[in-house]
Structure 1
C-alpha cells in the first residue's frame, strides 16, 4: 500500500484536510488493533500448555513453576484468557507483556461491558485513548455499575471532559458497590508513597521525585519547603524559586539525619549537634581505562540507576566526608563454570551486570529482581556457566518453561527468541523484530523488520 503524500498545492485548506484524513485513518487503525486483540483473546480461552513438571523446555527452577492458567483481564463477566496469550500479541506489536495485557483487558471491557461506548468507538466518535481510559476505570465496577456508566455516556462520551467521567465512575462505584468503594478508599490510603527515582538519574546528576501523600502531610511538607526556600533567599542564595525549593528539600533531609544521629548517640549536648553524619555511597561504577588513568572529565555508568553521569559528578558524590567502600571488581568478560545446578552468587551477579534487565523482548524488569535461567535447561545437559545463563522475570521464565517460547543466547547479552506462532525477535540493548521471508531456495528465512 502506497504511503500518503503531503499535499504540494501550498493550500492551507489542503493541509488541514490532509491531517484530518490521517487522524481518521490512525483512529481506524487503532480500533482495528483493539478488534484484533479481542479476536486474539477469543482464540485463547483456556490453557493448552503441559502441566507436567518435566516440560520439554524446562527452566532453572524446575517443578515449582506452575503451568499456564486462565486469567481475568477484563471486568467481572468478561471471558477468561490464557495467561501467556498476551505475551505473543505484545511481541508482535512491539510492546511489553503488561502493556499487551492492558490492551486485551480494555478490548474485553469495551466489547462485553461497555457495548455502547464500543459502538461509538468503532463509529469514530470516541478517541481510542479516552475509550481505553474509561475501560480502565470501570474494570473493578460490578456489571450493573459498568452498565450504568455506559448508559449515561452513551451519546456523550466523546464530548464530555475527563473530570466529569471520573465523577460518574465514582458515583457508580458508591451506588452499586458501596463495600468496594470503602475498600478502595482504604486501598488509596495504603497507596500513599514518596518516591525518589534514583534509577532515572540524568547525566547532570538530577533525579525526579514524586509521591502521593495524605492532604495534611502534603500541606505540612509544602510549608516546610517553602520556608526553607525563603531562608535560603535571606542567606543570599540567588537561585530561582523552584531551584531553592529543591535545595530546601535536601536541607530538610540533612537536618533530619542530624537529628537521628543525636538520638542514636544518646546525647543532648551542643557537641552532638555539630556531628555530621557521613554520606554513604554504595554504587557499582563502570569506568573506562582512560577515565581512571587520566585526571580529566569522562563518563561513568551507574549500575543501580542504569544511567550515565560524568566522572566529575562521581568525584563530587564521593568527596568531602563521604564514606567510600571499594568492592571487588567482577570481570564481565570472564567465563565462570560450575558442575552444580545451583548458581553461585558471583556467577549470578555477573549475569545481572551483563544483562541489566530481563532477557525477554520489551521487558524492562531489573535483572536483580529476575530469576537466573539456564538457557539450555540443566536437565537437558545445559551447563551452569556464563554462556548459558540469562535473567528472566518470573512471568517470562514460566512462559519459557511451559509454552512454546524458545530462545538462544548468541553472545553475552544478545538473545534470539522464537514465539509459539513463529515470531522471531532479538533482545540486546533493545528489541528488534525479525520479519519472515522466503529465500530463493524456497526455505523460510528471517530478516530485520
Structure 2
C-alpha cells in the first residue's frame, strides 16, 4: 500500500505501514511452520532406509517424537539439515519442528487461527512448547480454552492462562512437575556477558543458603572495614571470589573482627531513624515467618547477620525495596524464591558477625590511590593467611584454576588492547588484573597453535586435546553452539585407519563436535565434510547445500561460486 519513502509518510500512514509489515511477517512465519510440517512428513522413519549391520547402541539414526503425544515420529538426522539451511542450531531446529507438528496434531483450533491470520505464530508456538508434556486429551482441552484468546491478550496474561488451563487439564502432571521443581537443587553458572561478568545461581536447602549469605555479608563488611567504600552489592560480589579460599576468608574475617572500626561520616541516619528502621525490618521478618511457617530468632546476632540488609523477602513496612535487581540469566533458568530469615537451626554465629544494618549501603567510588591501598592490604592479609596465620587452622590451599588467555604480542607488551579469556570471552587488558586477583599464579609457556602436533594412536592425548580446544572455541558443525570444553567430542575428519600411516591423530585432522553433530557426520547418509585450510571446514548436506565453518562463524557457499 505504501510504496513511498518512509520518511515522507505521515505518522498515521507510517503506523499503518508497520501494521501491514507485521501482518506480512506473521503470514511468512505461518508459512514457515507449514514448511516444517511437510518436511517432517517426508522424513517419517517408515520412509528412511536402515543401514545394515547397525545396532541401536552405536549412534545410528533413531526415530524421535518432538512435539508431544500424538505427533508423528521423525528421523532424527533430518533435523540437522533443516536447521543449517535456516541458520539455526540443531536444538532450535528440533524445537521448531516439534512446535509445528504439535500445532497441527495437538492444537487444531489454534493452528486454524494461525492459518487464517487471526493468531500470531510465535504465541501459538509458545502454547505448543508449554504443553509438550501434556497428554493428547489434555492438550485438546487447553486448545479449546486458549484458541479464542491467544491473540487478544498480552503474553504475560496468556502465560498465566496457559498454566491455569494445564492445571485443569492434567492436575496429576501439574503435581508431578511441582514436585520435580521442588526437588531441583544445584548451582548453575551462566555464560559471560560483554563485560567479563558471570552469573551464578544456587538452589539449595534454605539453611545452607542462609549461612552462605551470612558469610558473604560478613566478608562484605570486612572489606568495608579495611577501606572499601563501594556499593554493598559490589562488595558482596567480590566476596564470591574470596569465599572460594577458606583460609583467606578466615584470616580476613579474623583481622576485621580485631580491627578498630572507624566511624563512617557518610552515614547520616540518626539513632532514632535507625532504631525505627530496624524495628520495621524485624517486623517484616516476623511477618514473613508467619506466612512461610519458618521460625526465627527476632533479635540474636546470627539473624541480623543473615538478613544483611539485602534480604530478598520483599518490601518491608518502611518501603525499602530489599530485593536485588532482576537478572536475565536467573529469570531464564530457575524460578526466583524469597530467601527466608534465619531459623533456630542457623543461630550458630560465624567467627565475625556484622552488626545490624539499617539499609543497603549506597557507597561511593574509590579513587585509584584508595584502590591501590586496599589491594595492598588484601594481598598482605592473604599472604599472612598462608605464612603466619592469626588463627591456628591448618595450611589448606585453595584449589587451582587454569585460565587460558589469547592476546597479541602488542597487548602483552603495552598492557593495552583486547584479549580473550577461555570460558569468559573478550576483555580489556586491564581487566586481567581483576581476573587473576590476589591469588598466587603461575605463567605457563605460550602455546603456538600454528604448530601441527600428532600422535600415532586413535586415542587423543591431552596435549592435542588442549590445542584443539584453544584453536576452536566453538564446535565446527554449521551453526553449532556447543562450546569446546574438555568433555566435547573430538572427531577425526578423515576417519582413522588402523592400517594407515602414522600421525593420523593430529591437530589438522581433528574437529570439536557435539555428540549429535558427531553422530550426524559418522552415521547420516549424504553428509560430507572436508578441510579447506587449517581453520575452515566445508560441510555438504544430503540435498547439496554447502557451508563453510571457520572462527568467524558459518557461511553458506553459493553453488555458482563453488563450481568456479
The TM-score range, normalised by the shorter chain, is 0.7 to 0.9
Mean Cα deviation higher: 16-25 or 341-350: 341-350
Structure having the higher Rg: 2
* 1:102 matches 2:102: no
1:418 counterpart residue number: 540
Q: Write out per-residue CA displacement over residues 283-324 of structure 1, whole angstroms, 9 at most, x where no aligned residue.
A: 1122322333x353343321233x12233332444353x121
Give me the TM-score of the superposition, normalised by structure 2: 0.66
1-side partners of 2:243 and 2:63: how far apart?
50
1:143 counterpart residue number: 136
Q: 1:366 aligns with which of 454, 464, 483?
A: 483
Relative to its length, the structure with more strand (as a share) is 1
Do the aligned partners of 1:72 and 1:81 also contact (CA within 8 Å) in 2? Answer: yes
2:464 counterpart residue number: 347
1-side partners of 2:397 and 2:463: how far apart?
32
SS at match of 2:563: strand
Shift of the 75–275 alpha-carbon distance from structure 1 to 2, 3 Å rule, reads: same
SS at match of 1:23: helix
2-side partners of 1:255 and 1:137: how far apart?
43
Shift of the 401–77 alpha-carbon distance from structure 1 to 2, 3 Å rule, reads: same
Do the aligned partners of 1:194 and 1:212 also contact (CA within 8 Å) in 2? Answer: yes
Q: Which ranges in structure 2 are unaligned for 5 or more consecutive residues?
A: 255-349, 351-384
* 1:407 matches 2:529: yes
Shift of the 257–68 alpha-carbon distance from structure 1 to 2, 3 Å rule, reads: farther
Q: How does 1:25-174 map to 2 (within 5 A)?
A: 25-46=24-45, 48=48, 50-52=50-52, 65-174=58-167
1-side partners of 2:143 and 2:247: how far apart?
51
* 1:396 matches 2:389: no
Do the aligned partners of 1:70 and 1:83 also contact (CA within 8 Å) in 2? Answer: yes
Shift of the 356–7 alpha-carbon distance from structure 1 to 2, 3 Å rule, reads: closer
Do the aligned partners of 1:281 and 1:324 also contact (CA within 8 Å) in 2? Answer: no
Q: Write out per-residue CA displacement over residues 157-204 of structure 1, whole angstroms, 9 at most, x where no aligned residue.
A: 11134444444444444444444333212321343444333x5154x5
Q: Which ranges in structure 1 are unaligned for 5 or more consecutive residues?
A: 55-61
2-side partners of 1:185 and 1:256: how far apart?
40
Give, in angstroms, the shift of residue 124 of structure 1. 2.1
Count of aligned positions = 423
1:58 counterpart residue number: none
Do the aligned partners of 2:539 and 2:547 also contact (CA within 8 Å) in 1? Answer: yes
Mean Cα deviation higher: 169-178 or 122-131: 169-178
SS at match of 2:537: strand
Give, in angstroms, the shift of residue 112 of structure 1. 0.7
- 1 or 2 for the larger relative contact order (CA 8 Å, sep ≥6)? 1
Shift of the 255–158 alpha-carbon distance from structure 1 to 2, 3 Å rule, reads: farther
1:271 counterpart residue number: 391
Give, in angstroms, the shift of residue 212 of structure 1. 5.4
Shift of the 316–147 alpha-carbon distance from structure 1 to 2, 3 Å rule, reads: closer
1-side partners of 2:207 and 2:12: how far apart?
53
1-side partners of 2:433 and 2:554: how far apart?
34
1-side partners of 2:120 and 2:207: how far apart?
37
C-alpha RMSD over aligned residues: 3.7
2-side partners of 1:221 and 1:156: how far apart?
45
Q: Write out per-residue CA displacement over residues 27-52 of structure 1, whole angstroms, 9 at most, x where no aligned residue.
A: 11111111101111111111725434
Give, in angstroms, the shift of residue 374 of structure 1. 1.2
Q: Write out per-residue CA displacement over residues 93-113 of structure 1, whole angstroms, 9 at most, x where no aligned residue.
A: 100000100100100111110
